[in-house]
Amino acid sequence: MIRATFEKKTFHFKRPSGTSRGVLTEKHAWFISLSDSENPTVIGLGECSIIPGLSPDFVDFEQYENQVKSCCDQINSSVNTFESIEILCAEIGEFPSIVFGIETALLDLRNGGKSFFYDTSFTRSETKIPINGLIWMGDEAYMQAQIEDKLQEGYRCIKMKIGAIEFDKEFAILESLRQRFPADQLTLRVDANGAFSVLEALERLTQLSTLEIHSIEQPIQVNQWEAMAELCQKSPLPIALDEELIGIHELEAKRNLLETIQPHYIILKPSLHGGISGTKSWIEIAEKLNIPWWITSALESNVGLNHIAQFTSTYDNLLFQGLGTGGLYVENTPTKMQTKGGFLEMLQ
């Protein structure tokens, strides 16, 4: 019989990190542990990670912890096989971060509790995953300092969050960077987090396109499908959907969104977009529609990041992934992964 327990942990950022949801100084996560009575010493561990204001399943800490507890109680009272836990995950799709935590704990348990989930060239330390260097929001000096650090570390793809200061200043930073490094040497991505109004968006995207930007994430606010579809059609700069995918669980609804908007890319975060199973379904639909994708973490600790990275490595995807967040926290969990030279690698 499978038993479930959970524990809440708080991680503190090494330095405050600016996002469209404010400046983050700490990160909360709930860790689900699964064990089997037939082999009680083996523990499967999964992370339920939330970002207040972005995670669709988080209202407040009491509500969220009660939901985690409820899922664990269901496992302990009536769900007692691998297959029935998978059914439970399918039934709680509106709680993607909890689905991710349970799914990954279950997979860890199935594989002996060794944090080794998939046999790939990445997990065998034969290949590395190319990743982007993330530039957090802040004043000009802070963003410029982050860029220089990433360049020194060897990153060949820089992703800059915009919308924190005046657009002209952000554009000047990107323009200076492009003048130093042409597009064949450095890939530039920007993440607008819905910062532009519908009226100004096309003009902003046209300006950014002169810098050979790879793509822009979520230029306008979500739930404006008609406006976003028109923007994707007219924009000289490729558009990637991110927040637009949150809260959509049914296969037909996913297909309808992608067919309606026809984005140039989608960006997938398992903790926000349906766990591992939900992410797989997004990928399957996107590939049928010839829409490229990449995966990023949602600020998980090394427990969640490890699984996301290993899952990502099961696909042949040469795009830069957003998996370089393992060093964010003061008290992170141990890991065999490391970032080096703009790549994520698994150590033996």
Residue 231 to residue 24: CA distance in whole angstroms = 31
Instruction: Give the per-residue pLDDT at 49.
Output: 94
> Which CATH number does the domain housing residue 213 bear?
3.20.20.120
In angstroms, the Cα distances linking 126 to 114, 153, 272, 313, 334 are 19, 21, 30, 11, 21
Instruction: Give the per-residue pLDDT at 84.
Output: 85
Same domain, 200 and 278: yes
Same domain, 164 and 307: yes
pLDDT along the chain (348 residues), means of 10: 94 80 86 91 95 93 97 86 86 95 96 93 96 88 90 94 87 94 96 93 96 96 96 97 94 97 98 96 97 96 96 94 89 90 93
Same domain, 22 and 77: yes
Task: Please indicate, yes or no, if residue 120 is contained in any of the structural domains.
Answer: no
Tell me whether residue 269 is one of the annotated catalytic residues. yes
The dihedral of CA 217, 222, 225, 226: what is its sign? negative
Task: Please indicate, yes or no, if residue 95 is contained in any of the structural domains.
Answer: yes
Residue at which a domain ends, from 110, 142, 176: 110
Same domain, 91 and 147: no
Same domain, 296 and 224: yes
Residue at which a domain ends, from 78, 110, 142: 110
Q: How many helices (H) and strands (E) are present in the chain, helices listed first?
A: 10, 13
Residue 240 to residue 217: CA distance in whole angstroms = 5
| Beta bridge pairs of residue 45 | 33
Same domain, 276 and 337: yes
Same domain, 210 and 330: yes
Same domain, 64 and 147: no
Instruction: Give the per-residue pLDDT at 299.
Output: 92
CA angle, residues 160, 166, 168, in degrees to nearest 5: 80
Q: How many residues are there in the chain?
A: 348
Task: Please indicate, yes or no, if residue 286 is contained in any of the structural domains.
Answer: yes
Task: Please indicate, yes or no, if residue 123 is contained in any of the structural domains.
Answer: no
Task: Please indicate, yes or no, if residue 124 is contained in any of the structural domains.
Answer: no
253 within 8 A of 230, measured Cβ to Cβ = no
Same domain, 105 and 213: no
Instruction: Give the per-residue pLDDT at 39.
Output: 85
Q: Is 347 helix (H, G, I), strand (E, B) or coil?
A: coil
219 within 8 A of 197, measured Cβ to Cβ = no
Tokens representing residue 105 in the block? 């704990």
Task: Please indicate, yes or no, if residue 141 is contained in any of the structural domains.
Answer: yes
Taking alpha carbons only, the member of 276, 273, 197 closest to residue 242 is 273
Same domain, 135 and 96: no
Tokens representing residue 249 in the block? 């669980």
Find the helix packing angle between 275-288 and 82-91, rounded to 10°: 70
For residue 126, the tally of other CB atoms under 10 A from its CB is 10
Residue at which a domain ends, from 76, 110, 144: 110
SS3 percent helix, strand, coil of the chain, rounded to 5, is: 40, 25, 40
Q: Is 320 helix (H, G, I), strand (E, B) or coil?
A: coil
Catalytic choice (128, 159, 161, 254): 161
Task: Please indicate, yes or no, if residue 146 is contained in any of the structural domains.
Answer: yes
Domain count, the chain: 2
249 within 8 A of 277, measured Cβ to Cβ = no
Q: Is 223 helix (H, G, I), strand (E, B) or coil?
A: coil
Instruction: Give the per-residue pLDDT at 307.
Output: 96
Instruction: Give the per-residue pLDDT at 79.
Output: 67
Tell me whether residue 280 is one of the annotated catalytic residues. no
Same domain, 105 and 228: no
Start-to-end Cα distance in the chain = 33
CA angle, residues 94, 96, 99, in degrees to nearest 5: 105
Instruction: Give the per-residue pLDDT at 263.
Output: 98
Same domain, 16 and 140: no
Domain span including residue 94:
2-110
Query: What pTM value is reported for the model?
Result: 0.94
> Which CATH number does the domain housing residue 101 bear?
3.30.390.10
Task: Please indicate, yes or no, if residue 302 is contained in any of the structural domains.
Answer: yes
